[in-house]
A = this chain, B = another copy of it.
Amino acid sequence: MAISERIQTMMSGSSFIRKMFETGSELKNQYGSENVFDFSLGNPSMRPPDVFNESLLKAASDHLHHAYMPNAGYPEVRTSVARFLSKEQHVPLTEKNIIMTTGAGGALNIILKTILNPGDTVIASTPCFMEYKFYCDNHGGTLVLAEGTEDFNLNVSAIEAAITPQTAAVIINSPNNPSGRVYPEETIKELSAMLSRKSRDTGRTIYLISDEPYRKIVYDGITVPSILDHYNNSVICTSYSKDLSIPGERIGWLAVHPEADDFENLISGTILCNRILGYVNAPALMQRTIAELQGVSVDIGQYKKKRDLLVDELQKMGYRFRVPEGTFYLFVKAPGGDDLKIVDELLQERILVVPGRGFSYPGFFRIAYCVKDSVIEGSLPGFKRALKRIEK
């Protein structure tokens, strides 16, 4: 074997989500894509809003700006993000607080590399996006999981119990992938108070990393609470992937609270890491494209319609779940309790979903409903038959 042993091991246990994506491609080749109901990947079917296309064409018509810029990104783009974010988070920010990144994945990696010493831990609450495990491991850290409550909220006591002197950060993701849960303001307050207390106790700053690419995809008048407003040692990582339906473009940012401990080093560290991890800078053209699109998003009403359709129909059939407040995911209890079994039954109906164990939460499965209405409608008989076979 000529490659790294760790990578070899990782490959054998790789992502359930991507596996499903690839199984899906095979099924589509075999049966035609109109006969496969692919709910496996959070890959939005909706087109970007018209203003995005206009802004992109404008940026693309300007032939001057494809060069390197400071590793943190164009100052004027960061100013534009800071201005919007100051209002959203109720904390005054400037371009000094913002680093443009290669999507939220880039943002998470640069902050983790900046803060992790070898052997450090980062805590996340299940169910959660398991790429965090790789992101921590990339930089010598270990992801430690704390189980969420039964209704998918954070369990602050469980997180507290997982904290040790090696804990560098807690990552939260609200609205949550895969559950669609938005953590209530009360919980964020409780978490912040606990983290402040534990930081004092352990004598080490515990950063709160808020991964929030779904912030704008919420329903029924819900608002996602500000993180910066509640905890000084907080860092937001996000992207325009879901807001604007452009996940392939890899554009996002990281924001550091102006009063975070060791602020200057934290910011300089993330800028250095943006460079040395090989990102160098967020893609130039996309930075210029999103500059004036702060607060813009695709029509969330369309996602709400999809959610409501799916919720109504699956409920009628007898599937059990908590109605999600945000994201375009539905996290459903596996009938019979075995997530691999229901995933397999659904696969026989050419319906692709992801087993809960892909989110460290067996006994559930995730439906990514960022698909055309026809995919949802076409899948319903299959969902019904699969459930019947399991209940038999």
Query: Which A residues form the contact surface with B (CB < 8 A)?
Result: 1-8, 10-11, 14-15, 18, 22, 25, 41, 43-44, 47-48, 53, 56-57, 60-61, 63-71, 102-103, 105-106, 108-109, 113-117, 131, 134-135, 138, 204-205, 207, 233, 244-250, 261-262, 265-266, 268-269, 272-273, 275-286
Contacts and interface: CB of A to CB of B under 8 A. Distances in A.
B4 A116 contact: yes
Q: Which of A2, A10, A246 has the most CB of B within 10 A?
A: A2
Contact of A278 (B18, B109, B272, B276): B109
Contact of A2 (B10, B69, B205): B205
A267 B272 CA distance: 29
A278 B134 CA distance: 9
B53 A67 contact: no
Q: Which of A3, A6, A269, A272 has the most CB of B within 10 A?
A: A3
A245 B248 CA distance: 22
A134 B276 contact: yes
Given A60-B60, A245-B67, A204 B47 contact: no
A278 B105 contact: yes
Contacts of A283: 248-250, 283, 286
A11 B265 CA distance: 9
A115 B205 contact: no
A115 to B, nearest CB: 5
Nearest to A60: B60
Nearest to A131: B276
A262 B138 contact: no
Nearest to A240: B66
A359 to B, nearest CB: 16
Nearest to A110: B278
A97 to B, nearest CB: 16
Contacts of A233: 2
A60 B56 contact: yes
